[in-house]
Structure 1
Amino acid sequence: MTKLRTLLVTASSFAVAAAISPAFAQDDTTQSSDELRQGEIVVTGTRTANRTALETAVPVDVFPVEELTETGRVELNQILATTVPSFNFNQTAINDGTDIIRPATLRGLSPDQTLVLLNGKRRHISALININGSVGRGSAAVDLNSIPTSAIGNVQVLRDGASAQYGSDAIAGVINVILREADHGGGLNIRYGAHVTDLEGLDRSEVDGQTTNIGGWAGFGLGNNGFLTVSGEYSLRQRSNRAGLDPRQQFPDTPAYAEAERTFDRLNHVYGNGRMENINFFFNSGYTLNNGVELYAFGGVQEREAESPGFYRRAIDSRNIPSIYPGGFLPIIGGDVTDYSLGGGFRGTASGWDYDVSAVYGSNELDYSVNNSLNVSLGPDSQTSFDAGSLAFDQLTINADVVKTFYNMLPGETSLAFGVEYRDETFEITAGEPASYIQGPFPGAAGSQVFPGFTPESEVDEGRDAAGIYGEIEWVPNEKTLLSAAVRYEDYSDFGDAVTGKVAGRYEFTDQIAVRGAIATGFRAPSLQQQYFTAISTNFIDGVPFEVGTFPATSPAALALGGGQLDAEESTSYSLGTVITPTNDWFVTIDAYQINIDDQIFLTENLGGDDVDDVLADAGVTGVQRVRFFQNGIETETKGVDIVTKYGFDFDAMGTLDVSAAFNYSKTEVTYVPENTVIPSLTLFGRDRTLTLEESAPETKLILNADYSYQQADFNVRATRYGDVLVPSTNPDNDFTLESDWILDASVDFHVSEKFSVGIGADNILDEYPTMTPDGLSFNGIFPYSSRSPYGFSGRFVYARASYNW
């Protein structure tokens, strides 16, 4: 570790000293439509400038912001799910913090196995770790929805393992969000829409989920050698509700409550999107000094207020106090998210070496509140709103990179790149107010209903640092051949080190046909959240307290049951593909891949019973009845193929038509689940968890898109076919399948003038819903649709928009 830090300081000093040398020209990351047809310039997956997406040795997709904003969707996760076929995003509901910071997956892998970059620099992950039953259980991933579309220039998706190039997390691939770069001009966009839907299988129609989005950006020149682009966005989404009526008895079975029972509003649950309000401000800037060195800075902040409704507590529920809520109550988890980042650095050229030195700081904090609730153990005097505590994650990353192309080292061109990185991370849990977790003098569960606050025993303040060094070579011996190799070493202060490598190549048989492929090893370091997250709630049975919750992997309870220090996940990936370009306006790419992951980290089931009690007692752990913790050991194999094609038609006076198709097939198999070494009969990872890893994403997904422009009108039609998805259970008899479905989106925009346009559209215009949950599995019909649906369960969304550009 000391040697790596010394190397980092040395590299930084070299770059500072070189600042007096001329800088190399920076490429604009925004391309015209004609350039996009020829192949997009990429800055992801390669450190060689001026390489297009069709010339790389591994698949990279580039999506300009104009393509990302063709539909009515405003969240980046939703947008990518209808743009990238191997990217999936579920609509969670009644899932605590996961409803507020929702995870997404790439190529069927865990949300934390995809690396996210902002302007090519590592983005910080969220403070939230998903511990409930959603897709991505046990993961802490980047919150892509914290980046507003108004700030984006384009998004580049590297569909290949890249840990040797970028470090931890890049097992499934890399998503690089490039911020808008402009020194003049600007735009203002206003969008309003709502779900207008007939609920399939329910005798009800709804107009809800009203969404207002106002965003804008402006570019300013900084003298003659710089730019500053600022953007802002405000969005407000109201609740949507797809719950069924509650048929259960609500009040005591006495004549005094007969009228209340008869007239009770049985739409008492909220099952859908909770209310959410976001405010974002981002900036991107650069300035070139007289000596050619470019200074740059970028960053942004988001404030989010969101809600996650829970299960309704009936009037007769033991968790209710009738004197406070005579008719029962619906508790609401509130989440206030503050996410911000600030990065900057300088880049230039010294002695023919291009260098880039940067530092980026990012933070994500989630403050929990519980409203319209109570602590039943405090009796009739219980408060109804609570501060339930908070989670916070901070990350500081310092990079120094150098690259140079040689023309006489080997035949052709040879590019060498080297770099070092230092990263410091911290994770904190802060306890809630006492009323949110204490056990009062009255019988009943302790803490605020729906979400007991974090206790002082759950408080965490932990950190770690990591340092890494990498080397990379790209060799172009002739016009037809590209070969590359990379190796990386990283050392973590908490669990140890990791070495990864990658080799890739591309060969052109003709100007129209090329093959490409790669072999790579990868790793993902255990997150601080996985190592230290603690959530303990106290329950009383016959007056005896016992604890139920999640414990750190190195806690006495976890160690007694076979837990221990978490290690890195390790992967080996293979890809082989072809690039076909019959004409300048048409290309087809086909890429097959296989990803094997060992020592995958998972969250165990709730472990309890007499054997567990005996082991814990022998280890001196008392008062614990149910234990779960994180552990290494799952092994998986993922196989798939991506097919992408685009073609452009020019009809002269009749306009232009761009059509594209993107297809993904992906299949994950869990090849090994570890047994508990202390109590072999314990089930560490249940059947439903295994099938969630294997079947949570559709095995096939097809996206067809058409853009037609004629005079002052632009038309877009997008059809997405989602394959079957299994909704698993611990009991095989309760498994059911969400059948494949087509989702059709359509919009039209009219250019009223050169600067002003208006448009209308509808997402899911045919108002499709997923297969209904079978009777007996839908909680008395209250939850008629599964949150495992790959396209959600909100129904049709219609919208209007207007934009003004200058």
Structure 2
Amino acid sequence: ALTDGTDSVRPAALRGLAPDQTLVLVNGKRRHSAALVNVNGSIGRGSSAVDLNTIPSLAVGGVEVLRDGASALYGSDAIAGVVNVRLREANTGGAVQASYGWRETEYTVPVIAPTAAGVPDPGSTVTRERSDGHVLTVAGWKGYSLGADGFLTVTGEYKDQNNTERAGYDSRQQYPGSFPEGEAIINRFNGWTGEPELEQLSFFANGGYTLANGVELYGWGSFQDRETVSAGFFRRANDARNVIEIYPNGFLPKINPTTTDYSALGGARFNWAGWDVDASLGYGSNKMEFQIIDTLNASIGPSSKTSFDAGGFEGSQLVANVGLVKGFAMDGLASDLNVAWGVEARQETYEIFAGEPDSYRNGGVLLPNGNPAQSGSQVFPGFQPQSERDEDRTAVGAYLDLEANVTDKLLVSGAVRGESYSDFGEALTGKLAARYDVNDSFAVRGSIQNGFRAPSLQQQYFTTTSTNFITVIENGESVLRAFDVTTFTVDDPIAIALGATPLDAEKSVNYALGFVFRTGAFNLTVDGYRIDVEDRIVLSENLTAQNVQDYLVDQGFIGSGGGRFFLNGVETETQGVDIIANYTFPETDFGTFRGTLGANFNKTEVTKIPDVPQLDALSPAPVLFGRVNILTLEEGAPKDKFTGQIDWNSGPFAATLRAIRYGEVLVPGSVAASDYTLSPKTVIDLEARYTWNEKLTVSVGADNILDEYPDAAPQGFNSSGNTPFSTYSPFGYSGRFVYTKATLNF
């Protein structure tokens, strides 16, 4: 909640980098990204990434994670690594699955002492019991045979999720007047922080067929329709943003986006002149349309509607590629020289469409003090006509990859890729990697490579404007004037006046060194890494200070209150270690046990922040990328994370016990005195299963069984009292989730 649609998207992120610095593939093919760009204060601010929520879990046959940069093979976005989702392939059988669960929890938060007359004082803390967040999921898959050499696997999923509410006690005065009667009885847990309300229907189909001549045809398609409801901050009855004739007790405005996502891909694999060829053509689209409900436009007054069409955005991707692989016998090598090369062409589009006029306009109504009321639908003003965009770009790329065993123990590979984009230019990347098998149990591996990430169309062209009334000094007096505060595109004349320049690609250098140890039933992998990123694309601070407005007036821009824009210029250094160990214990009379331990140590340092001459010349110079955003990159995620899991099987019985310990996280403030730390927490999950006749499996379990919560904001750090938990928490703040699940295989 409180993130303007971001809470409905589930991205992948590796090694502490941004979600859009991890490339997501489906069956080895690039997946299209969500149209949403995260412009709020949550983790991943400024990024636009692939939404894994669009892939039903039963459609997945496995997930491969390449925790290493791979730009030399796949091009843009693979700075941190690659996540490859392998789809289920089956020509027979199937399953239906139903699960139901909810949050059964209790939490305690501090209370800000009431200062207004008539407000009840519950004491220094308040403890609440909650039973909410009910989730029903019904899914199934079925495999069909296509002749003797083909398959079609179809998956469907329906999910209905209620919201969770983890508000704190709002001790502020709610009603206008000195001693309003309602203060003693109004519900003061008026926030809606937590999981959103969600309803989604998803389909996925994956198929393949081998022709008589050996040509293998393959393809897949997907569709999802999702409706989400999340809330903003509560507007009290006495709030200037409220119209008391509409909401006499205040209101909680809600963001209600509908997301439509679909994709289709077809291809063929065949042999040509000794080359194994893979050619495909794929298309994907993601669209979000925003309805704002339980709200109002205060500037229209009592006649305002309470729901608005606020517009939205849509992005698409069309990709064609051809890859060829062949082995060549070479003297002096211990294996064939494996040669892989290919070409790819991609077209991307991005569109913003406006909402209805009442969602953004100012209706002219004045507040009782004579000041203008705020414009647009509360919590999310609609996109204005001047924000509409319809943009596209093309990119073409080619790569070459060579790999061979130089000796029986030493494997060496190298790759190079060049890409050309119609909007920002060219990029060239390369990679060198080696693996040395010391013996059958122990191997050392390492790589060095450079990578890049092209600026997304969302980062280049996302724009929205809200009209704010800002106090300015005229003739020595303070007066309110209407100003447009905008998230600018980088080609906007006002953004250019503020120092914006065309976005360039992010550039990275990735170093990795690790080892693999295997003996019997024990496996251990340790990988160290360092990733240096230059020209990292970030969203600037809101540049709305008085001297910025004066500067814009001097430049001829009347009525602009400033705003923010995307820019290159941040440099970061990320280093860390990944450790994974697993062991299958010898079978006992009590069954079979398998244990897995994992650890990640990760540190990111911002080594350079951007500056622009236009703003540096002002006094005082505005902060372009401030301490909150810097510390979010450096301290906003745990620097250490430990995982442990034990799986047990004994005949029809099975169980899984999992524990994850998250290291401390800093919640930064605008000044150091307003920082606070989320202490390390351990979250434990437990599930038990029983299977009848190898067909029906019934599971019961609990995620976060000990009902762990992040530390609540200390008194004085939560001015309203009703938002006690930080979105920086790495495991959320909804508490224990209990569930049951039944799966019938056939």
Normalising by the smaller structure, the TM-score range is over 0.9
Residues 549-568 of structure 1 show CA distances to partners (whole Å, capped at 9, x for unaligned) of 20001211111111110000
Q: Counterpart in 1 of 2:78?
A: 170
**Partners of 2:586 and 2:14 in 1: how far apart?**
34
Aligned to 1:376, the other structure's residue is in SS state coil
Q: Is the CA contact (8 Å cut-off) linking 1:556 and 1:619 kept in structure 2?
A: no
**Partners of 2:714 and 2:590 in 1: how far apart?**
50
Q: Counterpart in 2 of 1:473?
A: 402
Task: Report the alpha carbon displacement of residue 104 of structure 1 after superposing the two structures with TM.
Answer: 4.5
Q: Counterpart in 2 of 1:558?
A: 495
Q: Counterpart in 1 of 2:534?
A: 598
**Partners of 1:185 and 1:482 in 2: how far apart?**
40
Assess, with a 3 A threshold, how the Cα gap between structure 1 residues 734 and 568 changes in structure 2: closer, same or farther.
same
Residues 159-206 of structure 1 show CA distances to partners (whole Å, capped at 9, x for unaligned) of 001000000000000000011000000011111111111113431101
Matched, 1:96 2:4: yes
**Letter matched to residue 317 of structure 2:** Q
**Letter matched to residue 605 of structure 2:** E
Task: Report the alpha carbon displacement of residue 760 of structure 1 after superposing the two structures with TM.
Answer: 0.5
Task: Report the alpha carbon displacement of residue 610 of structure 1 after superposing the two structures with TM.
Answer: 3.9
Matched, 1:530 2:459: yes
Matched, 1:690 2:630: yes
Task: Report the alpha carbon displacement of residue 348 of structure 1 after superposing the two structures with TM.
Answer: 1.2
Q: Counterpart in 2 of 1:751?
A: 691
Matched, 1:740 2:680: yes
**Partners of 1:478 and 1:657 in 2: how far apart?**
38
**Partners of 2:430 and 2:247 in 1: how far apart?**
61
**Partners of 2:31 and 2:233 in 1: how far apart?**
34
Q: TM-score, normalization: structure 2?
A: 0.94
Choose from 661, 665, 670 the match for 2:597: 661
Q: Counterpart in 1 of 2:476?
A: none
Q: Is the CA contact (8 Å cut-off) linking 2:534 and 2:572 kept in structure 1?
A: yes
Matched, 1:277 2:213: no
Task: Report the alpha carbon displacement of residue 94 of structure 1 after superposing the two structures with TM.
Answer: 1.2
Q: Counterpart in 2 of 1:503?
A: 432
Matched, 1:190 2:126: no
Q: Is the CA contact (8 Å cut-off) linking 1:560 and 1:615 kept in structure 2?
A: no
Q: Is the CA contact (8 Å cut-off) linking 2:20 and 2:48 kept in structure 1?
A: yes
Task: Report the alpha carbon displacement of residue 430 of structure 1 after superposing the two structures with TM.
Answer: 0.3
Aligned to 1:204, the other structure's residue is in SS state strand
Aligned to 2:499, the other structure's residue is in SS state coil
Q: Counterpart in 2 of 1:85?
A: none
Q: Is the CA contact (8 Å cut-off) linking 1:116 and 1:142 kept in structure 2?
A: yes
Q: Is the CA contact (8 Å cut-off) linking 1:557 and 1:627 kept in structure 2?
A: no
**Letter matched to residue 235 of structure 1:** K
Residues 589-640 of structure 1 show CA distances to partners (whole Å, capped at 9, x for unaligned) of 1100000000001111111334323432343222111221011000000000
Residues 227-261 of structure 1 show CA distances to partners (whole Å, capped at 9, x for unaligned) of 00000111111010110121111112256x31x22
Q: Percent identity?
A: 51
Q: Counterpart in 2 of 1:431?
A: 354
Choose from 645, 654, 657 the match for 1:705: 645
**Partners of 2:213 and 2:332 in 1: how far apart?**
31
Matched, 1:589 2:525: yes
Task: Report the alpha carbon displacement of residue 210 of structure 1 after superposing the two structures with TM.
Answer: 0.5
Choose from 353, 357, 360 the match for 2:279: 357
**Partners of 1:741 and 1:635 in 2: how far apart?**
30
**Partners of 2:206 and 2:398 in 1: how far apart?**
27
Aligned to 2:614, the other structure's residue is in SS state coil
**Letter matched to residue 690 of structure 1:** I
Aligned to 1:478, the other structure's residue is in SS state coil
Assess, with a 3 A threshold, how the Cα gap between structure 1 residues 294 and 186 changes in structure 2: closer, same or farther.
same
**Partners of 1:618 and 1:479 in 2: how far apart?**
71
Residues 318-367 of structure 1 show CA distances to partners (whole Å, capped at 9, x for unaligned) of 11111111111111110101111101110111222100000110000010
**Partners of 1:142 and 1:350 in 2: how far apart?**
34
**Letter matched to residue 777 of structure 1:** F
Bigger helix fraction = 1
Assess, with a 3 A threshold, how the Cα gap between structure 1 residues 759 and 609 changes in structure 2: closer, same or farther.
closer
The structure, 1 or 2, with the larger RCO (C-alpha pairs under 8 Å, 6+ apart) is 1
Q: Counterpart in 1 of 2:655?
A: 715
Choose from 335, 340, 347 the match for 2:257: 335
Structure 2 unaligned residues grouped into runs of 5+: 110-125, 367-372, 471-478
Q: Counterpart in 1 of 2:122?
A: none
**Partners of 1:238 and 1:753 in 2: how far apart?**
34
**Partners of 1:237 and 1:589 in 2: how far apart?**
38
Q: Is the CA contact (8 Å cut-off) linking 2:545 and 2:622 kept in structure 1?
A: no
Bigger strand fraction = 2
Q: Is the CA contact (8 Å cut-off) linking 1:219 and 1:227 kept in structure 2?
A: yes
Choose from 210, 213, 218 the match for 1:288: 210
**Letter matched to residue 504 of structure 1:** A
Q: Counterpart in 1 of 2:58?
A: 150
Matched, 1:549 2:486: yes
**Partners of 1:754 and 1:97 in 2: how far apart?**
42
Q: Is the CA contact (8 Å cut-off) linking 1:200 and 1:769 kept in structure 2?
A: no
**Partners of 2:533 and 2:523 in 1: how far apart?**
32
Aligned to 1:96, the other structure's residue is in SS state coil
Aligned to 1:705, the other structure's residue is in SS state strand
**Partners of 1:790 and 1:479 in 2: how far apart?**
44
Task: Report the alpha carbon displacement of residue 781 of structure 1 after superposing the two structures with TM.
Answer: 2.3
Structure 1 unaligned residues grouped into runs of 5+: 1-92
**Partners of 2:302 and 2:205 in 1: how far apart?**
51
**Partners of 1:425 and 1:648 in 2: how far apart?**
46
Q: Is the CA contact (8 Å cut-off) linking 2:98 and 2:138 kept in structure 1?
A: yes
Aligned to 2:585, the other structure's residue is in SS state strand
Q: Is the CA contact (8 Å cut-off) linking 1:187 and 1:217 kept in structure 2?
A: yes
Residues 759-784 of structure 1 show CA distances to partners (whole Å, capped at 9, x for unaligned) of 10011111111112111112332112
Matched, 1:780 2:703: no
Number of equivalenced pairs: 711
Choose from 331, 336, 353 the match for 1:413: 336
Matched, 1:223 2:131: no
**Partners of 1:200 and 1:252 in 2: how far apart?**
29
Assess, with a 3 A threshold, how the Cα gap between structure 1 residues 572 and 625 changes in structure 2: closer, same or farther.
same
**Letter matched to residue 634 of structure 1:** V
Q: Is the CA contact (8 Å cut-off) linking 2:9 and 2:52 kept in structure 1?
A: no
**Partners of 1:597 and 1:777 in 2: how far apart?**
33
RMSD between superposed Cα atoms in Å: 1.2
**Letter matched to residue 625 of structure 1:** G
| Stretch moving more, 733-742 or 483-492 | 733-742
Q: Counterpart in 1 of 2:516?
A: 579
Aligned to 1:107, the other structure's residue is in SS state coil
Aligned to 1:606, the other structure's residue is in SS state coil
**Partners of 1:768 and 1:261 in 2: how far apart?**
32
Matched, 1:762 2:681: no
Q: Is the CA contact (8 Å cut-off) linking 1:161 and 1:171 kept in structure 2?
A: yes
Aligned to 2:5, the other structure's residue is in SS state helix
| Stretch moving more, 538-547 or 615-624 | 538-547
**Letter matched to residue 144 of structure 1:** L
Q: Is the CA contact (8 Å cut-off) linking 1:310 and 1:331 kept in structure 2?
A: yes
Matched, 1:251 2:251: no
Q: Counterpart in 2 of 1:450?
A: 379
Assess, with a 3 A threshold, how the Cα gap between structure 1 residues 663 and 131 changes in structure 2: closer, same or farther.
same
Task: Report the alpha carbon displacement of residue 748 of structure 1 after superposing the two structures with TM.
Answer: 0.6
Q: Counterpart in 1 of 2:120?
A: none
Aligned to 1:377, the other structure's residue is in SS state coil
Q: Is the CA contact (8 Å cut-off) linking 2:190 and 2:722 kept in structure 1?
A: no
Aligned to 1:620, the other structure's residue is in SS state coil
Task: Report the alpha carbon displacement of residue 543 of structure 1 after superposing the two structures with TM.
Answer: 6.5
**Letter matched to residue 437 of structure 2:** E
Residues 237-296 of structure 1 show CA distances to partners (whole Å, capped at 9, x for unaligned) of 1010110121111112256x31x2221111211111110111100010000000000011
Q: Is the CA contact (8 Å cut-off) linking 2:221 and 2:263 kept in structure 1?
A: yes
Task: Report the alpha carbon displacement of residue 653 of structure 1 after superposing the two structures with TM.
Answer: 4.7
